[in-house]
Amino acid sequence: MVDNVDISLSDAACEQLKKALAEAGKKALHLSVREAGCSGLEYVMDYADTPLDSDLVREYDDFYLYVDKDSYAKALAGVEVDYQKDVLSSAFVYRNPNKKGECGCGVSFTI
């Protein structure tokens, strides 16, 4: 079953995830938040084989995105995920309309 999840992935994020999932031999990514850092919450991405009973599911061309239902309700609704790469680094970047602030290093955020 595919749920109505309004989390979007840029083309760059989709391509990077396809590569990473293929290398790991997985077909899905699990996205959630956890309490951590100096501001309160941080994003967690894990490889997955199957969704948990409490997960929301979104299908992309070559993989699935499983989203923790509680994390979605609390902090992930409307999130846009991009992948950015430059000469020195590469990272997934989250544009979160629920975010009210973040720590100085940008790892954790508040809602």
CATH of the domain at 36: 2.60.300.12
Domain with 37, as residue range(s), is 8-110
For residue 105, name the pLDDT band (cuts at 50, 70, 90).
Answer: low
In a domain, 65, yes or no: yes
Query: Please, which residues bridge with residue 34 across strands?
Result: 42
Q: What is the pLDDT of residues 38-89, one digit of tens each?
A: 668 888 999 999 999 999 999 988 899 999 999 999 899 999 999 998 888 8
In a domain, 77, yes or no: yes
CA–CA dist 69, 57 (Å, integer): 9
In a domain, 3, yes or no: no
Could you tell me which of 40, 50, 32 has the C-alpha nearest to residue 94?
A: 32
In a domain, 1, yes or no: no
In the chain, pLDDT over 90 holds for what percent of residues? 56
Is the confidence at residue 1, as pLDDT, over 70?
no
In a domain, 56, yes or no: yes
> b/e map of 15-51 (b: 16 or more CB within 10 Å)?
ebbeeebeeeebebbbbbbeeebebbbbbeeeebeeb
Domain total of the chain: 1
| 43: CB partners within 8 A, 6+ apart | 31, 32, 33, 92, 94
In a domain, 14, yes or no: yes
Mean pLDDT of 79-107: 83
In a domain, 2, yes or no: no
Could you tell me which of 41, 45, 57 has the C-alpha nearest to residue 7?
A: 57
In a domain, 81, yes or no: yes
In the chain, pLDDT over 70 holds for what percent of residues? 89
Is the confidence at residue 107, as pLDDT, over 70?
no
